[in-house]
Homo-oligomer: A and B are copies of this chain.
Amino acid sequence: MPEIIFGRGLLTQIGSCARRLGGNKVFLVSDQGLFNAGWVDQAMHSLLEAGLNFVYFDQITPNPKDHEVETGAREYIRQGADVIVGLGGGSAMDAAKGIAILVSNGGNIRDFEGSDKISRPLPPLVLCPTTCGTGSDVSQFAIINDTQRHCKLTIMSRCVAPDISLTDPDTLATLPEEFICTTATDALSHALEAYFSVASSTLTDVNAIRALSLLSDGLVRAVREQQPDDLERMARASLHAGMAFSNSLLGIVHALAHPIGGLYDINHGSVNAVLLSEVIRYDLPVVTEKLPELAWTLARHKDLSDRDAAEVVEEKIEHMLDAAGAPRTLSSLGVKREDLPQLAHNALSDVCILTSPREADETDLLRILERAF
Is the Cβ of B206 less than 8 Å from the Cβ of A206? yes
Segment at the B interface, from A1-9, A102-110, A221-229, A342-350: A1-9
> Roughly how many angstroms separate A299 CA and B84 CA in the complex, as a whole number?
48
Collect the chain B residues with CB atoms within 8 Å of residue A206's CB: 206-207, 209-210, 240
Residue interface bits A179-207, CB-to-B below 8 A is 1, else 0:
00000000000000000000001110111
Give the nearest-CB partner of A205 in chain B. B210
Copies in the complex: 2
> Roughly how many angstroms separate A209 CA and B297 CA in the complex, as a whole number?
14
> Roughly how many angstroms separate A239 CA and B202 CA in the complex, as a whole number?
10
Collect the chain B residues with CB atoms within 8 Å of residue A240's CB: 202-203, 206
Residue interface bits A1-42, CB-to-B below 8 A is 1, else 0:
101101000000000000000000000000000000000000
Collect the chain B residues with CB atoms within 8 Å of residue A158's CB: 3
Interface: A236 (CB within 8 A):
yes
Is the Cβ of A201 less than 8 Å from the Cβ of B6? yes
Is the Cβ of A6 less than 8 Å from the Cβ of B203? yes
Collect the chain B residues with CB atoms within 8 Å of residue A214's CB: 202
Collect the chain B residues with CB atoms within 8 Å of residue A4's CB: 203
> Roughly how many angstroms separate A4 CA and B203 CA in the complex, as a whole number?
9
Is the Cβ of B3 less than 8 Å from the Cβ of A236? no
Collect the chain B residues with CB atoms within 8 Å of residue A209's CB: 206
Which of these, B1, B202, B210, contacts A202 with CB under 8 Å? B210
Collect the chain B residues with CB atoms within 8 Å of residue A202's CB: 210, 214, 236, 240
* Minimum Cβ distance to chain B for residue A138 (Å): 10
- Using a CB–CB distance below 8 Å, which chain A residues touch chain B? 1, 3-4, 6, 158, 201-203, 205-207, 209-210, 214, 236, 239-240
Given A203-B240, A206-B206, 15 other A-B residues pairs in contact with their CB atoms under 8 A: A1-B1, A3-B158, A4-B203, A6-B201, A6-B203, A202-B210, A202-B214, A202-B236, A202-B240, A203-B239, A205-B210, A206-B207, A206-B209, A206-B210, A206-B240
Contacts A/B (CB < 8 Å), 7 sampled: A3-B158, A4-B203, A203-B239, A203-B240, A206-B206, A206-B207, A206-B240
